Structures are given as structure tokens and as C-alpha cells.
């Protein structure tokens, strides 16, 4: 039991060190907003396509959030970089991710996609 507590404490300490290692509050805000945008976008897409089956979770589970996690690690390295060019590039990329996710969510909310999802995906030939 002590080992489990120590492991949990180590993981939470590492996560806090990772998140709070950014020097600027603007970079901290961009990184947090980008992380939330990626997570909520993925959750909304999963919600629209229906919950995955057990087999899909086993097969696709490792890849589901892995690419988002790798993106966040690279963005964090860019935002924490000493070079101003990498910081600017990572900040712009964070803004692009946030804007795309916000656009997707606004389309989802305004177009009532949840109800019309079956009709919006289906394409019928014009006679």
C-alpha cells in the first residue's frame, strides 16, 4: 500500500512540475486551453459517433489520446523553449488548435448536430 501511495505522489509531483514549468502565465494559459480543447473535441467526436464497443476500446484505446498527448508534449517543449521563435510557433499552433476546436463546438451547438447527425453524414444523389 505504501508503494502505491508513493507512486501516486510521484506521478502527481511530476505532473505539477511539468505543467508549472512554463515561465509565462500567457504560455501557461495557452497550454491549458489547448489541452482542454483537445480533450473536449475528442470527447465530443466520440459522443457523436456513439460509445465504442469493448473490442474497439481494446484495439483503438492506446491510440485514442496518444496523439493528443504527444501534441501537448511537443507544444509544452516549444512554449518552454529558450528560443523566441519556437515559443511563437508553439503559441500560434496552440491558437490554431483552440480556434479549430471552438469552431467545431460552435457548429455542433448551433446546428443541433446531435439530432441531425445521421442525416448530415448521409449523402443522397441528386436526380
Mean pLDDT in residue range 92-120: 77
Name the CA dihedral angle for 80, 86, 91, 92, rounded to a multiple of 10 degrees.
-170
Contact 106, 40 (CB under 8 A): no
**Which of the pair, 40 or 64, is modelled with greater confidence?**
40
Q: Answer whether residue 78 shows pLDDT above 70.
A: yes
pLDDT band at 54 (very low <50, low <70, confident <90, very high): confident
Contacts (Cβ under 8 Å, ≥6 apart) of 21: 76, 80
pLDDT band at 125 (very low <50, low <70, confident <90, very high): low
Q: Is the torsion defined by CA of 64, 69, 75, 78 positive or negative?
A: negative
Mean pLDDT in residue range 106-120: 64
**Which of the pair, 4 or 92, is modelled with greater confidence?**
92
Q: Answer whether residue 74 shows pLDDT above 70.
A: yes
Q: Answer whether residue 95 shows pLDDT above 90.
A: yes
pLDDT of residue 2: 59
Burial of 79 (0-12, 13-18, 19+ CB in 10 A): buried
Mean pLDDT in residue range 52-80: 86
Exposure of 9 in the CB half-sphere (CA atoms within 13 A) = 6
User: How would you write 87-120 as a 3-class SS string?
Assistant: HHHHHHHHHHHHHHHHHHHHHHHHCCHHHHHHHH
Amino acid at each position: 500500500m505504501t508503494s502505491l501511495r508513493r507512486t501516486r505522489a510521484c506521478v502527481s509531483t511530476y505532473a505539477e512540475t511539468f505543467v508549472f514549468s512554463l515561465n509565462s502565465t500567457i504560455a501557461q494559459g495557452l497550454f491549458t486551453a489547448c489541452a482542454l480543447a483537445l480533450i473536449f473535441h475528442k470527447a465530443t467526436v466520440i459522443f457523436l459517433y456513439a460509445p465504442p464497443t469493448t473490442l474497439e476500446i481494446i484495439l483503438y484505446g492506446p491510440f485514442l489520446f496518444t496523439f493528443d498527448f504527444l501534441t501537448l508534449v511537443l507544444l509544452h517543449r516549444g512554449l518552454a523553449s529558450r528560443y523566441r521563435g519556437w515559443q511563437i510557433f508553439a503559441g500560434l499552433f496552440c491558437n490554431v488548435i483552440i480556434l479549430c476546436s471552438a469552431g467545431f463546438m460552435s457548429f455542433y451547438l448551433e446546428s443541433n448536430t446531435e439530432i441531425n447527425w445521421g442525416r448530415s453524414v448521409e449523402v443522397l444523389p441528386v436526380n
